[in-house]
Structure 1
Amino acid sequence: MTFWFLLLLGLFTYFIVQRSVAGITRTPVWILWLVLMTPALIWSVWAAIHGPDHPLPIALAIGPFIICPLLYWLLIQWGRRDSSPSAEQTQNQALESKPATETKPEPSNLRPIEPTEEAQLRNCFPWSVYYIHNIEYRPQAVLCRGQLRTKPAVAYQRIRENIEAQFGDRFLVILQEGLDGKPFFALVPNPQARAAGQSQQKLTRPILALGLVLATLFTTTLVGVEFAGGDLQTITSNPAVLFQGLPYALALMTILGIHESGHYIAARFYKIRATLPYFIPIPFFLGTFGAFIQMRSPVPNRKALFDVSLAGPLAGFVATLPLLIWGLAHSTVVPLPAEPRMLDPNALNPNYSLLVALLSKLALGDQLVANRAIDLHPVAIAGFLGLVVTALNLMPVGQLDGGHIVHAMFGQRTGAAIGQIARFLLLGLSLIQPGFLLWAIILFFMPIADQPALNDVTELDNWRDLCGLMALGLLVLIILPVPTAITQLLQI
């Protein structure tokens, strides 16, 4: 009964958010939806763990009602769009265009160029590079269709230079495949041209980023005290109890911070305007909703899309691995409960994840045998959450890092098809591992396609394709239950 209530509530909440704020903020709808659903999820998890006879603590009963609406408002404000058409909106309009054989040019009062400029535009397309057939005018976009006569990267570079020489910085030049499989160019108004005077200091907001770091350090420390078995009620008489929560807080923030810093550094390498990493503090649950950055300029090509998307999970996993192994080595082996729960930090069943089982056996050795669970050290809890964050981000769906990765590897349409398959595979896995059901539901609420790169046609090199397959393999290692043959081999 609780599950169906949550499902209906989640559907209703998602459609309300989608209709009310999706057009005014760049913040992903699924994040806003998750924030609004947090109170119901926390109360449901509490009831599932402690039973309906145990009343909620005051902090859990009232805190989410105060924190979540405020966080929801802040996320909307941080991602608020300008009143002028954004790059994302205009790219979406280009995406929705039909092949030239199925539509006629549409006159519009919002034509981005004047009729007298069409001859100048045609001159930007040399016949030996891209033989242009026709030009279609859409609201806030110009679609140029024709025949590609050289490599996509060469054509894009040459035509972009010609358009910049002729029209300055008025347009973003997009190259992507149409529904007929043929590459076409789209010219959309450049929102950065009007924002050229904006200072880098306003984009990065270091004081805000530092304040959120300190606030999140405090909230994760409070949660860490509970994970360490301390008593928060004694803080006023014994402030030193906070030191018990620092191992968890520092480990978790290191993992999340390095993950987002990987995105940030890669974005800066490709000269993509991006904000500093912002942490999201909450004084309950895990102490934080994670961290995020926002990219404020388009991704130049699929290579950049791949590198920026992979940099975060890769950096976060590299930071997670030593912390998790150290934490597991300092954890305690306990008897497996009669009814084990998937994410119980006091009795974690390592067989729920192939990678966790391998690392647990490596760290604990002969202590870990069959029918045993692990009472996790606070650092191990942070490391385990690092794996969860890595796996969730590597899901090949929509605007998650994994969705960007498969888009960069296979193209936008094939990447969207892979995302649809991944949704159903995770839903099937939730029949074996009920703990994945919430993940599966969240993925079905996410848009299946992400935004195209400016040059969305040029393919990746073989090395990046191999790295992408390895990243998807890491996802499988994290979420795949341990096969029986391996449990017998590891004697767990």
Structure 2
Amino acid sequence: MTFWLLLLLGLITYTILQRSVSRITRTPVWLLWLVMMTPALVLSAWAAIAGDDGSVPAFVAIAIFAICFSLYLWLLYWGRPKPNSPPATPSNSSNSPTATAVSEPSERQSLVSKLRPIAPAEESRLRNCFNWSVFALQNLEYLPQAVVCRGQLRTNPDRAYQTIRRNVEQQFGDRFLVVLQEGPNRKPLFVLAPNPKAKTASLEPIRRPGLAWALWVVTLFTTTVAGAQFMGVATETWQSEPNLLLRGLPYSLSLLAILAFHEGGHFLAARWHRLKTTLPYFIPVPFFLGTFGAFVQIRSPMPHRKALFDVSVTGPLVGFLLTLPLLWWGLAHSEVVPASEQSGLLNFDELQPSFSLLLSLICKAVLEGSLDPQKAIDLHPVAISGYLGLILTAFNLMPIGQLDGGHMVHAMFGRRTASAIGQVTRLLMLMLALIHPELFLWTLLLFLMPLRDEPALNDLTELDNARDFLGLVCLFLLAVVILPAPRMLLGG
């Protein structure tokens, strides 16, 4: 089990690093991956060598984690691209003043042209896009592949964005993406970036139903095999008697239903806001749980924070609405068994639910005696799916970076405040991992994820009260899932 968990963590870690930091540092991804995997490898080796009585001291775990994370940050900083330096004179050029005077302006003009997404003759057209009564433009700053337009906002953000975007589209068509966001000094600014899909968007295939169905069929098979193994059917047994695989269907179908509801919620919310999105794609794996989950890709930029909130929140909530009854039914058909040294939150045959307040409350209502410290729960296959759905909901609601919860708090409070919330969440999860070491891998993944996600095109217009309330409900749901049950509840 430990080997498969490490393999799963390694694959997820490398994928996150490849997608998040490979573009902002020249440090090899494999080196960053090795540094971030070191704590998990060292602690796993420690546990394997020391045995059951050799638990890792808390200060040792914290020291290893702190050293590796500090080294990771240093490597990330060390490998960051250097600022553009003045162009050097070619080695084979003449040293005469005339040659230097001719070459330097030419190279400088070439450099400037690369830094300007618009031609100098177009600047007056761009300035005319900013109405004085909407956004009083003060200056333009040219960055690589972007124009930063600084000024004074003179109306509400939504009206300002709609007006400026309409003016830019009238002057330049779909050549630019117009972004309204908060600058470093907390003052609103507009950013114009070239639209990479201006001419190719209509040519790209968005939905591939053949691929989606093929992945679903393969995932159905791999999860059915995993479900049969949870029922005690060995690989050699079902290979000789294929009909025994049917025992894995309750786990497989319930888990795929939860994943389909989760990703279907994202898909429907994206379609409601007229965003281009793919169909849900399932990820099959031939071991452990039988799947790494599912995902949808949204190919359109988020138009505003309301759309960002709706798309991010709908998935976890819709998935949870199916998870809860499946978990309830599955626990009702599970058994209370004596606990042993192997009991814990990762053992489906001897699960102890005290690490989660919500799970403990459900177990107390469904299974008498399940909260006894000397007892554990042998989960029914449907209960395993419901339990995994609960973990999936909690992980996605974590208010960090690219997770659904990260998008949610970004939409509720803005990117700057969302980053602070994400950092606090990381530290709280680290403290919680000291109480439940099984959560260490979860915590490590959270530290690997960037704190910030991409801004919406209109990133200043705030949410309405109903969405803010729903966001607080989601944060409350996250808290009751990940917080441990109090002693008073366990004693009852």
Q: Give the TM-score band, short-chain normalised.
A: 0.7 to 0.9
Secondary structure at the aligned position of 1:184 is classed as: strand
In the alignment, structure 1 residue 166 sits paired with structure 2 residue 171:
yes
Instruction: Provide the secondary structure at the position in 2 that maps to 1:193.
Output: coil
Within-5 A mapping of 1:134-213: 134-199=139-204, 202-213=205-216
1:419 alignment counterpart: 422
CA 1:417–1:386 in structure 2 vs 1: closer, same or farther (change >3 Å)? same
Stretches of structure 1 that go unaligned for 5 or more consecutive residues are 53-105
The aligned counterpart of 1:340 is: 343
- The structural deviation recorded for 1:353 is 0.8
Report SS of the residue matched to 2:255.
Answer: helix
The structure 2 residue matched to 1:314, chosen from 312, 317, 330, is 317
State the alpha-carbon separation in 2 of the partners of residues 480 and 21 from structure 1.
Answer: 31
Q: Distance in 2 between matches of 1:377 and 1:136?
A: 61
Question: CA separation in 1, counterparts of 2:16 and 2:409?
Answer: 29
TM-score by length of 1: 0.79
Aligned to 1:270: 273
* Most deviating of 217-226 and 130-139: 130-139
Distance 1:119 1:236 in 2: 73
Structure 2 residue runs of 5 or longer lacking an equivalent are: 53-110
Summarize the alignment of residues 244-259 of structure 1 with structure 2, pairs less than 5 Å apart: 244-259=247-262
Tell me which residue corresponds to 1:290: 293
SS in 2 for 1:126: coil
Deviations 1:377-431 (A, max 9, x none): 0000010000111111111111111111111111001101110110010000111
Report the CA distance between 1:285 and its aligned residue.
0.7
C-alpha offsets along residues 173-223 of structure 1, whole Å, 9 cap, x if unaligned? 000000111100011111121213315xx2111111100000000000001
> Alpha carbons of 1:15 and 1:465: their partners in 2 closer, same or farther (altered >3 Å)?
closer
What SS class does the counterpart of residue 336 from structure 2 fall into? Answer: strand
> Given the superposition, is the C-alpha separation of residues 15 and 453 from structure 1 closer, same or farther in structure 2, using an over 3 Å criterion?
closer
The amino acid of 2:291's aligned partner reads: T
Query: What is the distance in 2 between the residues matched to 1:487 and 1:123?
Result: 68
Partner of 1:74: none
Find the counterpart in structure 2 of residue 305 from structure 1.
308
Output aligned runs, 1:467-482, within 5 Å. 467-482=470-485
SS in 1 for 2:363: helix
TM-aligned CA deviation for residue 22 of structure 1: 3.3
2:283 alignment partner, one of 272, 280, 285: 280
2-structure distance, mates of 1:447, 1:19: 10
- Once the 2 structures are TM-superposed, how far is the Cα of residue 116 of structure 1 from its aligned partner? 1.4
Partner of 2:150: helix, strand, or coil? strand
Structure 2: how far apart are the matches of 1:245 and 1:16? 31
Q: Are 2:245 and 1:242 aligned?
A: yes
- Pair 33,305 (structure 1): closer, same or farther in 2 beyond 3 Å: farther
SS of residue in 2 equivalent to 1:194: coil
Kept after mapping to 2: 8 A contact 1:107/1:137: no
Structure 1: distance between partners of 2:460 and 2:119: 28
Following TM superposition, by how much is the alpha carbon of 1:301 offset from its aligned partner in structure 2, in angstroms?
0.6
RMSD between superposed Cα atoms in Å: 3.2
Instruction: Report what 1:22 is aligned to.
Output: 22
Moved more, 168-177 or 113-122: 113-122
CA spacing shift, 1:140–1:368, aligned 2, 3 Å: closer
Q: Tell whether the 8 Å contact from 1:232 to 1:241 is kept in structure 2 after alignment.
A: no
Inter-partner Cα distance in structure 1 for 2:239 and 2:141: 69
Letter in 1 for 2:485: V
Change (3 A) 1:436 1:190: same
Runs of 4+ in 1 over 3 A off after TM superposition: 13-24, 365-370
Structure 1 residues 350 and 306 mapped into 2: Cα distance closer, same or farther (>3 Å)? Answer: same
Which residue of structure 2 lines up, in the alignment, with residue 109 of structure 1?
114
Local SS of the residue matching 1:276? coil
**In the alignment, is the contact (CA less than 8 A) between 1:108 and 1:137 conserved in 2?**
no
Given that 2:116 and 2:145 are in contact with CA atoms closer than 8 Å, whether structure 1 keeps it comes out as yes
Larger gyration radius, structure 1 or structure 2:
2
Aligned-pair identity (%): 60
Is structure 2 residue 219 aligned with structure 1 residue 223? no
Displacement of 1:460 in angstroms is 0.8
Tell me, in whole angstroms, the C-alpha distance in 2 between the residues paired with 1:337 and 1:169.
64
Deviation at 1:366, TM superposition (A): 5.9
Q: 2:130 matched to 1:130?
A: no
Supply the distance in 2 between the matched residues of 1:231 and 1:189 (Cα, whole angstroms). Answer: 56
Amino acid at match of 1:269: W
- Partner of residue 330, structure 1: 333
Shift of 1:341: 2.2
Question: What secondary structure does 1:299 align onto?
Answer: coil
Structure 2 letter corresponding to 1:442 = L
CA distance in 2, matches of 1:16, 1:338: 34
Q: Which residue of 1 aligns with 2:490?
A: 487
The answer for the alignment partner of 1:380 in structure 2 is 383
In structure 1, distance between residues paired with 2:300 and 2:19: 25
